[in-house]
Amino acid sequence: MGRRASRELAMKLLYQLEVQKEDRQEQIETALNEEEGLTDSDRKYVEDVVEGVYRNIAYLDETIEKYSKGWKINRMPKVDLNILRLAIYEISFREDIPFNVSVNEAVELAKKYSTKEAGSFINGILGKVPHVRVSRQEEIKAEVNKT
């Protein structure tokens, strides 16, 4: 399938979960089982990203609000919000994905699935996000603080 298509599937799944708010694990399994051509690597990436976004949603949303001057999370288009969550998760927690790849892929997803201006909006926000990986210790601390 490839990483680009896996990222697109992950974004669609994040959007679906945002809208439907039903059983997350069931929706993930259904989406992965319905998608043809998924390799084990693709499947692991999608599961990691979707679960990682939800484990770190407070951190991701806080980061988005910090760098999106004048925009509140609840006013953003859901597609844009989930593209940003996905990209910031990759930037912050995935050591195997270079910063530029996460940004470029997010902009391309925005151009494909959102408005004409969304690519620039997303690029502007992601350009401000620090290129620093969050350690697993910080991720665990964020999870504990969330509960």
Q: What is the spatial distance between Cα 92 and Cα 98, in angstroms, rounded to a whole number?
A: 10
Distance between CA atoms of residues 147 and 61, nearest Å: 16
Task: Look at residue 46 in the predicted model and tell me its pLDDT.
Answer: 95
Domain boundaries, the chain: 3-146
Query: Given the structure tokens 């401000």, which residue do they identify?
Result: 128
Cβ(49)–Cβ(90) below 8 Å? yes
Q: What angle do CA 6, 9, 55 make, to 5 degrees?
A: 90
pLDDT bin (cut points 50, 70, 90) of residue 132 is: confident
Contact between 42 and 16 (Cβ < 8 Å)? no
* Contacts of residue 54, Cβ cutoff 8 Å, sequence gap at least 6: 17, 24
pLDDT at 43: 93
Q: pLDDT per residue over 8-25, tens digit each?
A: 999 999 999 988 877 888
CA-to-CA distance for 46 and 41, rounded, in angstroms? 9
Confidence of residue 116 (pLDDT cuts 50, 70, 90): confident
Superfamily of domain 3-146: NusB-like (1.10.940.10)
Q: Both tokens of residue 107? A: 């902009």
The pLDDT of residue 131 = 75
The torsion region of residue 70 among left (phi > 0), alpha (psi -120 to 50) and beta comes to: left
Integer Cα distance of 54 and 14 in angstroms: 9
pLDDT at residue 143 greater than cutoff 60: no
pLDDT in tens, 33-62: 898 888 999 999 999 999 999 999 999 999
Q: What is the largest CA-CA distance in the chain?
A: 41
